[in-house]
Amino acid sequence: MFARVLVANRGEIAVRVIRALHELNIEAIAVYSTADAGALHTRLADRAVRIGPPPASESYLNMASIVAAAETTGCDAVHPGYGFLSENPAFVRACEDNDLVFVGPDADVMMRMGDKAQAKREVAAAGVPLVPGADTATAAEARAAAQDVGYPVLLKARAGGGGKGMRLVHEPGALDDAYARASAEALAAFGDGRLYLEKAIAPARHVEIQVLADADGGILTLGERECSIQRRHQKLIEESPSAALDEETRAAMEVSVAQACRHISYANAGTFEFLLGPDGSFYFIELNARLQVEHPVSEAVTGIDIVREQLRIAAGRQLPITGRASRNGHAIEIRINAEDPARGFVPAPGVVERFRAPLGPGVRVDTHVEDGTVIPPYYDSLVAKVIVWDEGRAAAIERARRALSELELTGVPTTREAAFEILGTDGFRSGVYSTSFLEETPLEAVAAA
């Protein structure tokens, strides 16, 4: 096992990884921008290294500074968390070139899976079903592909994610303008303006499968996460298991994921994302070759610490069990973002005046905020995750609402009230909802579209 690991991230995920390292008796080295001086993750770590000014491009995305911090502190490995450099194959190579173990898949796999069009070709070769679509290099090619698959269609960036470079097109006359806008947005966000087109599945649910794989071919699937409650293609609430899956479909999805992992020689933690159609058919969207924000949902129902397993796999150890992990009960995660739902979920940086986490049975809170924490405008708006577990879905929903009612977070607008309202709607309680839930469900806390 490693002696010292650098955590190349900030916020709640840096705190989460540091705690896992300490539980494994591994020294944790934090990095921070000047905007995060004194942040919780820097105080929990055994040592913290300043890597640059507030803009991410000059700090948390600065590969040279992060590798130098790892080298000067004598680290064996680097854990990237999620976001920032976590899916950057050039960063993986930079770590490898400096004798640092990257806690994640290797650079070749990450590069292939980071190109969504190539990822689709490779998993299709493993027998995983895809949404009908095509790679496109021009708007003319997109028009031809749309004619083949039928409208509505989605234009999506071949690199990156998070809704950037994505446009829904309902009719032929709108395609050229949407293509130009999506390509420009993708180029600005990811440095790559290439797009692919796929048939829009509606109504659709967003369901993903968590997997762990070791370097010796051992594969463990940890079941699904339902991620259909979204705004701007960003998840707000996740749960496991999904009310939309029967056991036959669930098993088929997990088998397809295991097949894909073997085919692409995947190792470490990963998440295969799928669209689930109204007829129960599922279609691969993309592979997130990293730890997911919502990984605690899978941890709650399986009892498996995914971050610990990431570290063990990276250190060359085999998974203790393979196949399909056993699950128990129902888990829900609510993301608490410093955003104003009444203004279209715009980010709301500021100072947290008071923070008190909910307690009690079956409640977990992952966060980096305290009284007085500054939420800077430079980074993701996530400030906390409230995760609950109970024996069944109805009980888990009530526990989640109880936890949210006890959560105190003042000083900045947050998504807490919106989440509390969502959990109380008939649509959510029924379990019959889709990715268009927020567009179709009027909520007092959310601005009308």
Query: Catalytic: 205?
Result: no
**Of 10, 290, 312, 393, which is the active-site residue?**
290
What distance in Å separates the CA atoms of residue 112 and residue 118, rounded to the nearest whole number? 6
| 3-state helix/strand/coil string of 236-272 | EEEEECCCCCCHHHHHHHHHHHHHHHHHHCCCEEEEE
Sign of CA dihedral 220, 226, 232, 233: positive
- Residue 146 contacts residue 214 (beta carbons within 8 Å): no
**Amino acid residing at 428:** F
**Rounded to a whole number, what is the largest CA-CA distance in the chain?**
60
**Exposure of 22 in the CB half-sphere (CA atoms within 13 A):** 13
- Looking at the annotation, which residues are catalytic? 290
